[in-house]
Structure 1
Amino acid sequence: MDSWKAAEYKKQSFTSPFLDCSSFPVFNMAVALFIHNITPFAEAGFLSEVSFSWLNPLLKKGKEKTLENEDIPELRPEDKAESCYSLFKEQFIEHRENILCGQSSVLSSILCCQRKAILISGFFALFKVVTLSTGPLFLYAFINLAKCKEVFRYEGYALTAGLFVVKYIESLAERQWLFRTRLIGHQIQSMLTAAIYKKQLHLSNMAKDTHSPGEIMNYVTVDAYKIGEFPYWFHQIWTTGLQVCIGLVIIYCAVGLATVPALVVVVLSMLGNSPMAKLQRRHLTQLMIAQDKLLKAITEALSNMKALKGYYMVLFWSTPIIVSAVIFWASYLPNITLTTLNTFTFIATLSIVQEPIRSIPDIIAVSIEAKVSFSRIVKFLEAPELQNRPIQQHCEGSEFEHSVLINSKTISWDCDSVNPSLEDIFLLVKPGEKVASCGDVGSRKSTLLAAIIGEVPHIDGNVEVQGKIAYVSQSAWIQTGTIQQNILFGSTMVQYKYQEVLKKCCLVKDLDMLPFGDQTVIGERGINLSGGQKQRVQLARAFYREADIYLLDDPFSAVHAHTATILFSEYVMEALVKKTVLLVTHQVDFLSAFDSILLMSKGRILKQPTYNQLVDCSQEFRDLVHAHGEDVKHKMKAGHGLKASKSIFYVFMTSIFRAPMSFYDSTPLGRILSRVSSDLSVVDLLLSVKLSTALSTTMTIYFSLGILATLARPILFIIIPMVCITIRLQKFYFASAKELIRIHGTTKSSVASYLSESIAGVMTIRAFGEEDRFFSEGLRLIDKKGSSFFHSFSANEWLIQRLEILCAIILSSSALALSLLSFGASESGEISTKYSTSLQGISCTFEGGHKIGIVGRTGSGKSTLISAFFRLVDPTEGAILIDGLNLSTIGVHDVRSHLSIIPQDPTLFGGSIRYNLDPLSEQSDHEIWEVLEKCQLRDVVQKKEGLNSFVTQDGSNWSMGQRQLLCLGRALLKRRKILVLDEATASIDNATDSIIQKTIRKEFSDCTVISVAHRIPTVMDCTMVLALSDGKVMEYDIPMRLINEEVHYSDNLYKNTGQLLEISTNRTKLCRETTPRFFIFA
């Protein structure tokens, strides 16, 4: 750094109104630390530390400019999350071997990590109590002085100076006590947050059912915060008793035996808090459960929010008043004389007793909150972790005997399950082989991939993997960040390799359409991208990884035919030609290109032959292929196909959340969850208390100053300058404080967002072996949050200390002035989407009762059009009319109450099957069973627990196809006149697709059906087809006419479909006769 920066730093250090540390040797070290953006507190000297003058440069900078993240210095190394977590982990391992109880081992580990800091802060707490207790003694001396009982000539001035020094030391001690306990709390919160994040990366699937993502979010944002707040109150547990004892001793010296009844009242009040504490603990536990449910509901869909919060706290605010009354009453019984001297001494001492008595309920409340939160976190930290012992990965060397070898009798997600997920599995995949896995819905194809990457915990047998794995999940997982960051996924950028990946994954054209290309920042869960674009980013991430084994879980269902054809031929068959590929798919057109095919049914591998062998000998495979086009066989003879694609953007909304979709696109889910969890908890529990405290403190200040001005007019010469200094101090402080609080809020949201994102993608993170990198990034975000929090509460202590010093000046000056009067008393008061344009000039009419198919390439505007129907986005020009009514003039709730949707990504909520189908309990059990029968799910549900069958959050314990069928059942129960299908059959097999289409034709025959699809049977069954491209209507006509006329757009579709069919030209005669050509629109 340049020398002028050091000079500027030195100049800034003189801004303290009271103390300056520039003359000390550590100042030069502090300059160096600040230049390197490390907090000056790291090397602050004693005077700088106790006066908080090390904060002066930051506050000066905040006064001159708006503070940003980069202006906040980093924490000391010992205060960073990595150091705190490492120390905690070391102590935990040591104590766990000696202590059986989990809570005891965690608590002992924390205490060992913080014992030195606790002792130092305890010393300051003791010093504060002792200095506070001298107040009545000074008052006693001042009253004697006022009675002309002067011991020596300048006694008044000596007492004034002594009072100021004692109050100054009291302020320093109290501020260091609270500052250091805040620092202890920060370190504890950081280590617990890091431990929770680390734990969720290794959490077993069974534990995930017990600890939902919403609950894990609460552990970090609420529970860890409350435990971090407890050290702030820790020393008050013993200082309260000490302060009361000292106060009662002084009162006894003043009024004698009249103190005894007061002591009885104090004891009774403390005993009376015991049953209230038990009652409060019960209600606090209920409150935390309610908060978990609230956050879980918002996490699932940001809808159906129903939170019932209860908080019960009885504070014995009347105890100090009773103590006062009892002492005065008791003073008359033994005929104790109440003189001016002992009366005012008693009144002054009473404030020392009142303060701790009033704090007893608060201490109990905070202690109970911390205990409840602590037990919740310990329970989570003790939850079982994912065990990968049966998984053996050998990545050394360049040649392997085999890539995947599974020889297992049973593979199950739950050890107690009677019906295992997979049975009698023998799978051998050699290096370089291409293996496809197909089967009907619920055949456990995805579970097989999960077993290979070590996600399934209970394996009776052996699973051996030789080589590095790259995994592409069925539901695309995208991080918040740029597209380039998502593709690199922590790897080093190699430009030629990166460009090749973009080309092979068909992303070049998409990036050209985006405003900043691959530097475009995409939102959480990839919500700024279409479904097909998200899947291609996932494929690019896997390809760039250069793994040995590629596990692809049905990635091509999310893209249209032309792109799917290119991806399969150039990505799978060309780019991965020497790699081992295991692909789960429902698209039978690709199967002939694979070395072998796993035909799965009910958790078993029926066969693993080649494509031709399967066609010749497997009836199950014939049924699977035959179902592909039986219902539309006569339509397919026209010889041409139409183009369709996917990607509908639909988020289930309720009337509570009426913000436009652009808000949810630009706002990370973690930020919303942070507001709902920690911020809402503050509103629930602290807002009223803080507001009441602020009002009472303000009133106390004004009344105290008024009384002083009335009794001692000369004190106005001191009060007025002090008030001016106070105003200047507060302005100086607020300029930085409000920005520190703002930055802390954003960094806190970043931690919550990152945690939420990691929970959602933990399977992908573990498959790529990126746990350490994600944990390191989590620690960095925790430190960012911690740094802003540390400097925020430090600045708060900086201000309070200076205000208390001003109070000490006023108090000592008032005492001197009052001591010159014939009578008087001194009383001390403390100042404690709008979316970017996607549709252009669309004009068409959907007739009632018709079935409309919407097709188009990724980014053509299909998602925006569907979003407009549901008023997720509003048209900037024009209008959408339903039965002559303009949707823009109708309430959002009314519009959506007349529409039903079966989304592309099936949405299920934690609870039962019945709750998911009929959350408001509007239908009878008989009607629900009828719907399950129509959806071909009756047998599956009956084998479990009937309508009470458990559904985890997001429905992960049900297959993708079963989830989609449940969404169909939900729509059947609604019986709305307009049904929207958002590629509802993209992730299911053709036989189930046929069932769904038949059900829709029968049950919604008199309804208007709008279908976004890319399967030929679905589109050819439509009355009209709307083709979109770049937000414009290219064609809108009946399917057959579009094919026969062979206009430009349909001709392009036909060519793209022809490219798809070229892959399977060598099929057997049986296949050609029984199966029509499978078209997917491009």
Structure 2
Amino acid sequence: MVGRSKTYNTFDSADPRASSWHPLDAASVWSTLSFGWAESLIALGNDRQLSSDDMWPLQDANKTFFSIYWRPFVGIGVLELFIAVCSLYGPGFVLGQVIAALEAAEFDSIYVLKLVGSLFGLSVANAVAKAHMSFLNNLVGMQFSACLRSMLFEKSLKLSAKSKKDKSAGDIANLFSVDVVNVMDFALNAHQMWVVPLQLLVVLFLLYQVVGWASFVGLALVGVITAINARAAVLLGRTEEELYGRKDERMQVLNELFGAIQIVKFNAWEEKFATRVQALRDSEVQSIKVFYEYVVVLMTLMSSAPVLVALAVFATFTLLMHQVLTVTVVFATIALFKSLQDAMANLPFSIMSLVQSLISAKRINEVLIMDEFDPANVQTPADASIVPAYGKDKVVVSIEDGSFGWDADNLLFRNINLKVHQGELVVIHGAVGQGKSSLCSILLGEMVKTNGSVFVGGQVAYFSQQPWIQNTTIRENILFGKPYDRTKYDKVIDACALAKDMASFPAGDRTEIGAKGLNLSGGQKARVSLARACYSDADVFILDSPLSAVDAIVSSEIFRKCFQGLLHHKTVLLVTHNPEIIASPEVAKAYLIQDGQITESTRSPTTLSPVAEEKSPLVSPLRQRRPYWEASYTEAPVVVRKHDSLLTPTASTPYNFKPVEMLFTPRGKDVNESHGRLVKEEVRAVGRVSKAVVFKYLECIGGWPAITVLLLVTVGMQAFKITSDLWLTKWSNDTNHMDPAVFVASVNYNMSVYGSLALGCCVFTAIGCACVFIFSVRGANKLFSAMLASLLEAPMRFFDTNPIGRLLNRFGDDVTSCDLNIPFGVMNMLFEASSALLTIGTTLVLTQWLGIFILPLMYIYIRIGAYFLEPLREVNRIQKTTRSPLISLVSEGIDGSTTIRAFGDKQRRRFQRFHDQELEVFCATRFANSSINQWFSLRIELLSDSIVAVLLLAVVVLHDTLSPGLVGLLITYGLTIPSNLAFLVNIWSRLETSMISPERILEYINVEHEGHRDGSPQQQWPTVGRVVFDNVSFRYKPNDPLVLKNVSFDVQGGEKIGIVGRTGAGKSSLMMALFRINEVASGRIQIDGMDTATIGLKTLRNSLAIIPQNPVLFKGTLRNYLDPFDEYSDEQLWSALRKVKLMDRLSTVEEKLLGPVEENGDNFSVGERQMLCMARALLRQAKIVVLDEATAAIDHATDQLLQAVIRDEFASSTVLTIAHRLDTVLDNDRVMVFDHGELVQCDKPSILVAQGSGIFFELVSEGGYMDKMTGTEE
């Protein structure tokens, strides 16, 4: 994020920036009218590079999302109407009067000067009105889009589990980046839909005064063109809906891909995903091409409409009405139609904007009406009527005769009952896939309830089976909005066994965590999440497998210090497979979940530890609060106030706390905050888009051949255009000295020539549009493919420091800009630049020596343009970079919505405020952008009006030397100069803004790549599976501390090696080094005698198989996941599924192997996902297999069965097993023990235990495995 640190702290709704001074608040009338108040920012932008902190804070009116828009909207419409009327004064009145004065016997210079003065004055008023209309329009659009974004984010935090399956985070991020913009763009252009037709009617009325009933022919032709355009617009809408649907599919896959990029690299799936994404992109490009076919029709007809209508009118006037084509008739008609040209040219954009807006509004509405999480699924003490019923027995958690499912038609539980009393530690256990996590979801209100009741009596803290980690500092993850309490914080850190980890992080607890906790081990993520739950000081703790990712020593420490100590007075529901914990006397109850039923096994009070209440806990417990049945809820009503902190409410404490800054230096650490920063600020280029970017883009669209074609087409179009105008000038001048009979006789010839020239202009316009679109789509596709290929080869540390929202922004907003914005910008730039050169060049020639007075004005125009573009491009770049944090927050919020809701509605409101803060920063850049644009537009309009005044004065001075026809041409061209010049710089600025997208894409194309992917040994490799680490040191980023230090070992082919150690000891880092996720800092790794640094990454990783700690399944079919390259038969797949005990579960699915896998594998439990990963590994039969906590989420009975499968199926393979469950490695050939990145023990398990000391001995003792090792029974 630019200019702001990402700090998730408590905050007051009154943002201090909101009360800061805004220049518009103190602006004088003149400064307001002229936008002089915006000049300070423009001047600053010319002095130095701007940042988001230079943007003015939004005024209160611009932060009100649900403002009533009708008043400003009506005001905009009135201004639009006034502007349209002003645009017709020159061609509709002044032109005819000046030509009449020239043709009069005596030239009335005073009257002409009065006309010039009135035109100039009205033009000035028009310029001021136009600038303020655009400014007001942008403000309304900004408010409206902010409202939509806020509503969408609020909705995304409320979506039910079923709704989240239908709409992924990528889908909703696409709504934010594209669809909201489409709706806003239509809001900016909405008035064009009625102003242009009204303007057309007025022009036809004025035309009737000039050419009589021939104007109705023009009206009929306009009707035909409009009907064709309407049909094209309908087809365009259908195509665009299809286009956005295909883009959604692409973004969804990209969201999955980059959300699980580590798994993709482990399995060398880069090419697989590249093919899949490129296929979706090719489908999207086909839709873009069809889209542009309809756009070419729209653009050609609309831009050619004035010429075609004029041709029809002149043909009718001369051939059918047999009238003489005078100078007044010719140029009054041309001028009137030219006054419509901009409006007619904008009409297709308005139509397309309307179509896009309707489609986008439909897509947004689909999300806004989706099912929401229903808090009524769970009763709470807020309902005073139920308090006595539960309070008399001190029941804190209760399910009575409940039936639940993820949808009403497929129930997972039927008529279940559960009762937990205050202060009890209750264990939930059962086989994999039986519904333990689903039971947690029931208590959170996430599942659909069809029968019964659920009661939870107090504030809830939740630990999800796959920990949700925020992309912020460790401390902020733990505090989760709570004010910092040093004593309480230290207790929590100690109880969750995080103290040693804090000491090892570069900035202590101020170290920033990457997206989804990428730079933490599985155990560290689990303990940070557990610490967040503990620090919340809740009443009820719902903890879904918090100990599965930690070793026996840490598990025992957390159980004693956290569950027996810190949470001693709390009600805890703990999901676990650990038999020691299930059998522990500290557990009040144990519930077995099996076949949709819950079996309660209540412990007798006599089995509890006799000293449990007397012993002093290792960590003093959190303060016990008054239970809900004693508290008076009338004393502390739940009211959302402005000061909405997250302190636990008590009976006497209202919700009114001050915000607390939470960036404290950890005790004993004097560090700079930047030392702990992981996510880099988004790179923002300085100054204008570089020539290298422009040349690279031009190379992508086709290089010099494409440029030559575009220039030739543009020259041809303008040549036909000026030739047709000069022909009309000659033809109309001939009427002054030609016999009427001769004129009539030459009509057919003259009309044929004019018609041919006009049609030639139309043809070249169509060819020009088509060429621009063809070349631009080619360029966009090349950039997309190159960026995709580049990022798939980027090292893992790139993804650690670049959040997924930033990547999706490049593939979403920036790719869309290349697909749609740049082509229109290039086309308009070519047409408008050539038109402006033609117009100004013609007027300079016609005004002779008086043209010298125009040159200073043109110099001023160029200087103002340069002064304006410098700050504008910086503001546009800031706008691009402030959008990424918004998208990242949306993705993070949707992924963690269950956790956020579990901690209470105040947390949801807190995240809503995070979003609104980021949104305010983004809107501030939009406001600055609009201010700068209107400052410039007003000055350019006034300058252009001065040029027109000079041209009209030239007519007065040169009236004796210029023919009426040339005067008509001069005035007609002159009247188009203001719109041409203003439009030209605006197009240039928009095009340069759009070119920031290729610049940003090229930045990612040029990122550092991993080592070479190709490069295989000449012979088959590996054949034995021997793995040698030779003095290997490893770190994740340059200059980071080493996580592996001089590790050396030799594993023989076929050996079964267990890898153990305390959490964070470096076990998973060993696998990162083996798979070359990052290159080793020193030493070398050999497999079958080959240095892995010399082996291509694809070959290396394809030769290894891994079952990761956090299994990730990609959306698609089950077959596609198990066999992504179609290498195995159905029989082989079913055999693998049978071996991992999933055949019975999956054979009941109607589609069998073609059954769906939802995003992130959400339709499978975490344990089932691990079993699917194992099935895929069984299919590969690799010589080296890595099991990284592969069965952590699986019950012990199933685990033992799977361990037997592993031993049998991988009998000849080298198996490296990282485990916290020691019983999975006790029968291994050897065990390696790691501590602080060093290999401290390596031998047979029995030998290490026989030593009587050491880490492995401690792990075996703490885990209760000593009897198994010694062969004795208790």
TM-score by length of 2: 0.72
| Residue in structure 2 matching 1:579, options 561, 570, 574 | 570
> Gaps spanning 5+ residues in structure 1: where?
1-32, 88-112, 616-648, 1066-1070, 1078-1082
Matched, 1:324 2:307: no
Report the counterpart of residue 253 of structure 1 in structure 2. Answer: 209
Check whether the contact 1:476–1:535 (CA below 8 A) recurs between aligned residues. Answer: yes
Q: Any idea what the Cα deviations from partners look like across 1:788-836, whole Å, max 9, x if unmatched?
A: 1121122122222222222221222122224433232231231314452
Q: Matches of 1:144 and 1:841 in 2, distance apart?
A: 96
1:664 aligned residue? 799
Equivalent position of 2:1135 in the other structure: 930
Counterpart check, 1:1058 vs 2:1252: no
- Say whether residues 1:338 and 2:544 are aligned partners: no
Could you say if the C-alpha distance between residues 876 and 164 of structure 1 is closer, same or farther in structure 2, counting changes exceeding 3 Å?
farther
Distance 1:1019 1:212 in 2: 39
SS of residue in 2 equivalent to 1:389: helix
Q: Which residue of 2 aligns with 1:534?
A: 525
Q: Distance in 1 between matches of 2:1207 and 2:1264?
A: 28
The equivalent of 1:187 in structure 2 is 143
Q: Tell me how far apart the structure 2 counterparts of residues 984 and 614 of structure 1 sit (CA, whole Å).
A: 34
Give the match for residue 815 of structure 2.
Answer: 680
2:88 counterpart residue number: 133
Aligned-pair identity in percent equals 33
- Match of residue 718, structure 1, among 845, 850, 853: 853
Structure 1 residue 1041, shift from structure 2 partner:
4.4
2:986 is equivalent to residue 1003 of structure 1: no
Q: Structure 1 counterpart of 2:346, which letter? A: S
1:139 & 1:544 partners in 2: Cα distance? 78
The residue type equivalent to 1:124 in the other structure is: L
Taking the aligned partners of 2:18 and 2:172, their CA distance within structure 1 comes to: 38
Is 1:379 paired with 2:363?
no
Match of 1:454 in 2: 445
Say whether 1:820 aligns with 2:957: yes
Corresponding position of 2:199: 243
- Distance in 1, Cα, partners of 2:426 & 2:18: 58
Alignment check: 8 A CA contact 1:655 1:893 kept? no
1:909 is matched with which residue?
1114
Q: CA deviation at 1:366?
A: 1.1
2:947 is aligned, of 791, 810, 827, to 810
**1:70 match:** 53
- Asked if 1:841 corresponds to 2:1046, the answer is yes
Q: How many residues align?
A: 970
Change (3 A) 1:723 1:407: same
Partners in 2 of 1:671 and 1:658 — Cα distance? 17
Once the two structures are TM-superposed, the CA of residue 1043 in structure 1 deviates from its matched residue by 4.1
Partner of 1:601: 594
* Cα distance in 1 for residues equivalent to 2:17 and 2:1217: 61
Shift of the 573–613 alpha-carbon distance from structure 1 to 2, 3 Å rule, reads closer
CA distance in 2, matches of 1:34, 1:560: 48
* 1:911-1060 correspondence runs (5 A): 911-945=1116-1150, 946-1044=1152-1250, 1051-1060=1254-1263
Relative to structure 1, the CA distance from residue 1037 to residue 1052 in structure 2 (aligned partners, 3 Å threshold; closer, same or farther) is: closer
Tell me the residue number matched to 1:787.
924
1:897 partner letter? N
Residue 291 of structure 1 corresponds to which residue in structure 2?
247
The aligned residue for residue 404 of structure 2 is 411
Matched to 2:444, the amino acid is I
* 1:1073 to 1:401, Cα distance in 2 relative to 1, 3 A: farther
Q: Residues 714 and 817 of structure 1 are in contact (CA less than 8 Å); yes or no, is this contact kept in structure 2?
A: no
Quickly say closer, same or farther: Cα 1:79–1:852, change in 2 above 3 A. same
Residue 889 of structure 1, CA deviation: 4.3
- Matching residue of 2:37: 54
**Aligned residues of 2:408 and 2:450 also touching (Cα < 8 A):** no
Offset, 1:73:
1.6
Alignment of 1:106-125 (within 5 A): 113-125=68-80
What's the offset of the Cα at 1:407?
1.0
Match of 1:558 among 540, 544, 549: 549
2-side partners of 1:180 and 1:476: how far apart? 46
More divergent stretch after superposition (673-682 vs 761-770): 673-682
Equivalent in the alignment of 1:350: 337
Output the CA distance in 1 between the equivalents of 2:789 and 2:1164.
25
Asked whether the 8 Å contact 1:600–1:607 carries over to 2, the reply is no
Match of residue 436 from structure 2:
445
1:9 is matched with: none
Deviations 1:398-431 (A, max 9, x none): 99711111112412221121xx222332211111
- Aligned AA for 1:331? F
Q: Which amino acid aligns with 1:271?
A: A
**3-state DSSP of counterpart to 1:811:** helix
Moved more, 378-387 or 114-123: 378-387
Contact 1:204 1:457 in 2 (8 A): no
Deviation at 1:876, TM superposition (A): 3.9
- 1:366: which partner in 2? 353
Question: Aligned partners of 2:526 and 2:935: how far apart in 1?
Answer: 52
Question: Residue type matched to 1:408 in 2?
Answer: D
Partner secondary structure for residue 424 of structure 1:
strand
Change (3 A) 1:391 1:139: same
Tell me, in whole angstroms, the C-alpha distance in 2 between the residues paired with 1:886 and 1:146: 92
726-735 vs 657-666, which deviates more?
Answer: 726-735
Comparing 120-129 and 718-727, the one that deviates more: 718-727
Conservation of the 8 A alpha-carbon contact between 2:415 and 2:452: no
SS at 1:555's partner residue?
A: coil
Q: Is 1:899 matched up with 2:1127? A: no
Change in 2 beyond 3 A, CA 1:328/1:515: same
Deviation, structure 1 residue 552: 0.9
CA distance in 2, matches of 1:194, 1:375: 17
Alignment-derived partner of residue 65 in structure 2: 84
Q: Aligned pair in 2 of structure 1 residues 441, 252: CA closer, same or farther (>3 Å)?
A: same
Cα distance, 1:729–1:293 mapped onto 2, change above 3 Å = same
d(CA) in 2 for partners of 1:611, 1:715:
108
CA distance in 1, matches of 2:1062, 2:827: 59
How big is the shift at 1:454? Answer: 1.5
Secondary structure of the residue aligned to 1:988 is coil
Alignment of 1:376-775 (within 5 A): 376-394=363-381, 401-417=394-410, 420-591=411-582, 592=584, 593-610=586-603, 657-769=792-904, 770-775=907-912
Asked if the contact 2:545–2:1193 (Cα under 8 Å) also holds between the matched residues in 1, the reply is yes
Q: CA deviation at 1:562?
A: 1.7
Query: CA 1:241 to 1:289, structure 2 compared with 1: closer, same or farther past 3 Å?
Result: same
Structure 1 residues 389-398 or 947-956, which shifts more?
A: 389-398
How much has 1:435 moved relative to structure 2? 0.8
> What residue number does 1:99 align with?
none
Query: Could you say if the C-alpha distance between residues 253 and 862 of structure 1 is closer, same or farther in structure 2, counting changes exceeding 3 Å?
Result: farther
Instruction: Tell me: CA distance 1:934–1:127, structure 2 relative to 1, closer, same or farther (3 Å).
Output: same
Give 1:885 shift.
4.4
Matched, 1:225 2:360: no
| Aligned equivalents of 1:700, 1:881: Cα separation in 2 | 68
Deviation at 1:1045, TM superposition (A): 5.3
Distance in structure 1 (CA, Å) of the matches to 2:230 and 2:516: 48
Looking at structure 2, the residues matched to 612 and 890 of structure 1 have their Cα atoms a distance apart, in angstroms, of 62
Please report how far the alpha carbon of residue 579 of structure 1 lies from its aligned counterpart in structure 2 after TM superposition.
1.0
Q: Deviations over 1:602-626 (max 9, x none)?
A: 22112323399999xxxxxxxxxxx
Letter in 2 for 1:498: Y
Q: More deviation in 143-152 or 870-879? A: 143-152
